[in-house]
Structure 1
Amino acid sequence: MTTWNVKIGINPISWMNDDLPSLGGETPLETALKEGAEIGYAGFELGNKFPKESSALRAVLGKYELACVSGWYSGRLASRSAEEEIAAVGPHLRLLAESGATVMVYGEVADAIQGEARPLYKRPRFQSQQQWQDYADKLTVFARHLLEHGVRLAYHHHMGAYVESPADVDQLMALTGDEVGLLFDTGHITFGGGDALTVLNKHIARICHVHCKDVRPNVIKLARNGHWSFLQAVINGAFSVPGDGSIDFPGILAALYRHGYQGWLVVEAEQDPAVAPSYQYAKMGHDYLAKLVDDIPRLGQEAG
């Protein structure tokens, strides 16, 4: 039987949104940590309210017996050199490595519009195969540097950025070295026009981190047809926690199980806490995933 060694973590975005502080901005970090631990999460990804020094970070997480899962890094390799990026990442890389995280969430923010009031179709795109190759080469060099410090790059395909669609993910994975891991985000790949299970199976060998969010297809359709910005889509409920939308999480977890994925399943579902109360939805997502993780050896055998 395949070993099924996964842990369920959460991103603090369920309580407080770094991109849109009006969503839960007043909520103290301690509230999120206390409630997350009480629900049963094993760890947290980092956000703006966490300490930036490793001993302080370990202390605040240790108080609730939580692990440091990972932390978002705003990369700009689309507009600067690998050497410049390596110099810039130093403090964040040290923080993650000293805090026990083994993956870094890399989000490309150069030219990205995910935080702007601009329609998603205006996102940046590489205009030639040479631009793609240059970007991929820099990313591979950068990822190799992270690995030398015990941390794997987990590339976050993201709405409003250079790598958004399944075709973009295909290009990135084809042109980068194995040093570059893929963060598979169920919600973003679906919003980006893909079938989550199909994309997962295609790139499963490179997946080193998983963000679990569900989608509301009617809201995504409105967002596309109405030329909404990414934040408009979030505010209007494009995303929710696993089990509260249309994504086939039993199929996705069964595929991860069969492949022998060992890592984190992170609930990361940005919503307005005034509409989707943080504790209620965080618990809903945890309990749904926890049941699947318990059932998955049986489900995996049946599906196999």
Structure 2
Amino acid sequence: MTALPGSRLALNPIQWMATDDGWLDPSKAPETPELLSLVKKAGFDGVMAEVPAGWPVQQYAELVADTGLELAPGYAVCRSDGRDGKEAEVVENAARIARQHAELGLDVVGLGLGMGAAEARLAHPAQGTDPAAERLGAITDLVGRIAAAMVAEGVRPALHPHVGTWVETDSEGRAVLEAVPADQLGFLPDTGHLAWAGVDVHALISDYADRVPFVHVKDCRLSVAQEGRAGDWDYKKIVRAGLWAEPGRGELPLVEILSALGNDFGGWLMVEVDKPDIEDPYESAVASVTWMRATFGGGR
């Protein structure tokens, strides 16, 4: 076992929503009370915070607590490239999510860019397709505005580089992190998306370890990623070919990667399986938490 004794294990239960091509269909998931019960039954300590549409925040918080779970940080999506006129709307939405998190007792949240705006990168993923310094600068400025709005609500966002967005590569992630002060913006690494993009994940986490409040833990098959890059496959084709896997079932050296956090890391290790390798979502969750506990300890 590679101990991270202060860490806790959470699940973003997207395997219940995953489509064959790597997208999400929330209508596939059980109703919220049943879904939370399944996450708890599988063996996780916490679940990613996501207040259902139309629910009062307190009602959701009480249901999570009654299920025996803790709330782990959620996720905000910036659906703008900083130049499309949607900036004010995006900032206000981020502030709203921050207020929700503060009401839930959380002080951090993930922050990533939307995938829909970067069609060129969905067509040619994980390669930094169509880089543009001007666009990256506009995005960085917008992330700074979002961060200031969220911090004003008592919640610090953590940047989440993601394949298929305009912050995908090592250099793009570093550029944003270097431009926005650490007290305004943390770093949320995703082991799978960073590795797919060719990042030295251990090195990147090591360089910004003091800004990492939690981690998205994914496993993937780099052999599939490499085949897809060589064949110029699009995002969905690579996913369909078997890119993603539950932790321990893929090809990533997760023990080595996460050792960059240091033994005193006390944040959440949040499992995400974008497309389960195990067909049944519940069994996918069980396999994930079993391997994580056997490998990293933590939690209960």
2:112 is aligned with 1:111: no
Change (3 A) 1:249 1:123: closer
* Residue in 2 that maps onto 1:241: 246
Structure 1 residues 247-297: Cα deviation after superposition (integer angstroms, max 9, x where no partner): 222223332134x32211000011157x532122212221222223338xx
2:76 is aligned with 1:73: yes
- State how many pairs are aligned: 290
2:287 is aligned with 1:281: no
Structure 2: 5+ residue stretches without partners:
none
Change (3 A) 1:55 1:271: same
* Residue in 2 that maps onto 1:209: 214
Quote the sequence identity (%): 22
The alignment partner of 1:104 has SS state of strand
Task: Give the counterpart letter for 1:186 in structure 2.
Answer: T
Q: What are the residue-to-residue correspondences of 1:53-68 with 2, within 5 Å?
A: 53-68=56-71
Which of 146, 157, 176 pairs up with 1:142? 146
Tell me, in whole angstroms, the C-alpha distance in 1 between the residues paired with 2:254 and 2:286: 16
Tell me, in whole angstroms, the C-alpha distance in 1 between the residues paired with 2:203 and 2:160: 17
Which of 151, 156, 161 pairs up with 1:152? 156
Structure 1 residues 108-134: Cα deviation after superposition (integer angstroms, max 9, x where no partner): 127234996x34279765522x54344
The alignment partner of 1:63 has SS state of helix
2:297 is aligned with 1:294: yes
* Residue in 2 that maps onto 1:6: 7
Tell me, in whole angstroms, the C-alpha distance in 2 between the residues paired with 1:207 and 1:55: 28
CA contact (8 A) 1:77 1:139 kept: no
Which of 24, 33, 37 pairs up with 1:34? 37
Change (3 A) 1:211 1:21: closer
Residue 173 of structure 1 and its aligned partner are, at CA, apart by: 1.8
Residue 142 of structure 1 and its aligned partner are, at CA, apart by: 2.1
> What CA RMSD, in Å, does the superposition of the two structures yield over aligned residues?
3.0
2:186 is aligned with 1:185: no
Residue 153 of structure 1 and its aligned partner are, at CA, apart by: 0.4
Residue 174 of structure 1 and its aligned partner are, at CA, apart by: 1.9
**TM-score computed with the length of structure 2 as normaliser:** 0.84
* Residue in 2 that maps onto 1:302: none
Task: Give the counterpart letter for 1:88 in structure 2.
Answer: N
Task: Give the counterpart letter for 1:266 in structure 2.
Answer: M
The alignment partner of 2:172 has SS state of helix
Higher RCO, 1 or 2 (CA under 8 Å, sep at least 6)?
2
The alignment partner of 1:62 has SS state of helix
**TM-score computed with the length of structure 1 as normaliser:** 0.83
Task: Give the counterpart letter for 1:202 in structure 2.
Answer: D
Tell me, in whole angstroms, the C-alpha distance in 2 between the residues paired with 1:251 and 1:151: 30
Task: Give the counterpart letter for 2:36 in structure 1.
Answer: L
Structure 1: 5+ residue stretches without partners:
296-304
